[in-house]
């Protein structure tokens, strides 16, 4: 009986092992099937990245499925123009900045005035903007390729990045996309929101804070003045009538002031232009901070960065080229997300100069 009992026990053990082994095999198959299904789901969903990130946030490669060549088209046309006109990067960087500070990065700066409305383009800070024809050409090409898909707001954000990046042959910062276009553009709002070259530090800080940007962003983004030019009427008061008594700004390097007087010979000169970063205004680098430390910042708003200890310390940090490029990359991404329209807000304009209806 004991022998039989022992055999029976062995048989029971073998049966249990077979059952367990069968259950384990079934569980393994279930896990494999689940994994395969998950992978298939991820692969399938990745094709709809634009749809998935439309819910209120921007994302990289938003047009991956809806218009796969979008970013290539933007870069190709932009680089073609920049190759023959090295002044364009500064113009597009400024245009993007001015767009984002008024109603967010919604392409409203691109809209033309109408019989009943004076658009942002007409505001004094925007009257010297240029490069709109390049934006229009890019939009026209994208409408041919994938109609009604790519927003003017995204085009402007990409063009700003690609134009500045041309000299390096690679993108300097990420541009998450998925912005939609605004339908309102008012000159009065541009004048009220775009930081003035006459601002002191307190006003500059508040202007940036109103857009969710920090003092760090203020200083770093001011580094964009390393390329481009300024019109005499935006700084000549520092040469001839700083306090209304026919005096010069004492914070301006006297040798530099004498040089500027040879360019801007009166307070009434509103056509002459001067490099913001003398001798280096076509090269995107951190030289702006070097001349700033020498009291050669062109605008009062440049000099203002040295009047606050915190911002002055950040200026010192930006003297390191690697630090500047890293910080500029991050600040540009933050600026490019100011009050963006996503999802079903706004529209995708057929033409960047006019709303759809």
Kind and range of the H or E run holding 275: strand 273-275
The pLDDT of residue 262: 95
Binding-site residue set for substrate: 195
Rounded to 5 degrees, φ, ψ at 178 are 125, 5
With beta carbons less than 8 A apart as the criterion, state whether 149 and 139 touch: no
The answer, yes or no, to whether residue 49 has pLDDT greater than 50, is no
Q: Across the chain, how many H-helices and E-strands are there? A: 15, 2
pLDDT-based confidence at 279, cuts 50/70/90?
A: confident
- Name the CATH topology of 69-228+276-336: Peroxidase; domain 1 (1.10.520)
pLDDT-based confidence at 52, cuts 50/70/90?
A: very low
pLDDT-based confidence at 15, cuts 50/70/90?
A: low
Domain extents in the chain:
69-228+276-336
Q: Residue by residue, what is the 3-state secondary structure of 173-195?
A: CCCCECCEECCCCCHHHHHHHCC
The answer, yes or no, to whether residue 12 has pLDDT greater than 90, is no
The pLDDT of residue 357: 83
Positions annotated as catalytic residues are 98
Nearest Cα neighbor of 129 from 112, 153, 106 is 112
The answer, yes or no, to whether residue 60 has pLDDT greater than 90, is yes
DSSP 221-243: HHGGGGSSEEEGGGTTHHHH-SS
pTM to 2 decimal places: 0.83
- In sequence order, the 6+-apart residues with CB closer than 8 A to the CB of 150 are 63, 67, 70, 139, 142, 348
Average pLDDT over residues 286-307: 97
Binding-site residue set for Ca(2+): 99, 102, 104, 106, 108, 120, 226, 277, 285
What does the DSSP 8-state code read for residue 258?
H
- In sequence order, the 6+-apart residues with CB closer than 8 A to the CB of 223 are 286, 288, 289, 318, 324, 328
Structure confidence by residue, pLDDT tens digits, 84-115: 999 999 999 999 999 999 999 999 999 999 99
Binding-site residue set: 99, 102, 104, 106, 108, 120, 195, 225-226, 277, 285
d(CA 339, CA 318) in angstroms, rounded, equals 27
Which of 138-142, 143-147, 227-231, 279-283 has the lowest average pLDDT? Answer: 279-283
Mean of pLDDT over the chain:
88
With beta carbons less than 8 A apart as the criterion, state whether 277 and 222 touch: no
């Amino acid at each position: 009986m004991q022998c039989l009992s022992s055999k029976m026990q062995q048989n029971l053990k073998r049966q249990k092992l077979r059952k367990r082994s069968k259950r384990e095999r079934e569980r393994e198959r279930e896990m494999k099937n689940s994994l395969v299904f998950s992978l298939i789901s991820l692969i399938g969903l990745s094709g709809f990245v634009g749809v998935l990130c439309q819910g209120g946030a921007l994302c990289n490669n938003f047009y991956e499925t809806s218009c796969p060549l979008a970013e290539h088209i933007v870069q190709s046309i932009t680089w073609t123009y920049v190759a023959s006109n090295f002044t364009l990067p500064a113009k597009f960087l400024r245009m993007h900045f001015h767009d984002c500070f008024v109603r967010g990065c919604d392409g409203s700066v691109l809209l033309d005035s109408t019989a009943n409305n004076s658009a942002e383009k007409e505001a004094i800070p925007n009257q010297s903007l240029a490069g709109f024809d390049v934006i229009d050409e890019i939009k026209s090409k994208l409408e041919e390729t994938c109609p009604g898909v790519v927003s003017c707001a995204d085009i402007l954000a990409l063009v700003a990045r690609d134009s500045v990046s041309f000299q390096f042959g690679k993108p300097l910062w990420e541009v998450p996309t998925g912005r939609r276009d605004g339908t309102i553009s008012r000159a009065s709002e541009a004048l009220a929101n775009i930081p003035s070259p006459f601002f002191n530090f307190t006003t500059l800080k508040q202007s940036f804070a109103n857009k969710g940007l920090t003092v760090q962003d203020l200083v770093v983004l001011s580094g964009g003045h390393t390329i481009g030019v300024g019109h005499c009427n935006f700084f000549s008061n520092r040469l001839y009538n700083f306090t209304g008594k026919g005096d010069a700004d004492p914070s301006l390097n006297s040798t530099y002031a004498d040089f500027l007087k040879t360019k801007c010979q009166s307070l009434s000169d509103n056509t002459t232009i001067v490099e913001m970063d003398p001798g280096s205004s076509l090269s995107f680098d951190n030289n702006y901070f070097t001349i700033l430390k020498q009291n050669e910042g062109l605008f009062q708003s440049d000099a203002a960065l040295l009047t606050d200890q915190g911002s002055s310390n950040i200026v010192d940090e930006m003297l390191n080229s690697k630090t500047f490029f890293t910080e500029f990359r991050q600040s540009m991404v933050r600026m490019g997300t100011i009050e963006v329209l996503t999802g079903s807000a706004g529209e995708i304009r057929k033409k960047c100069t006019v709303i759809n209806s």
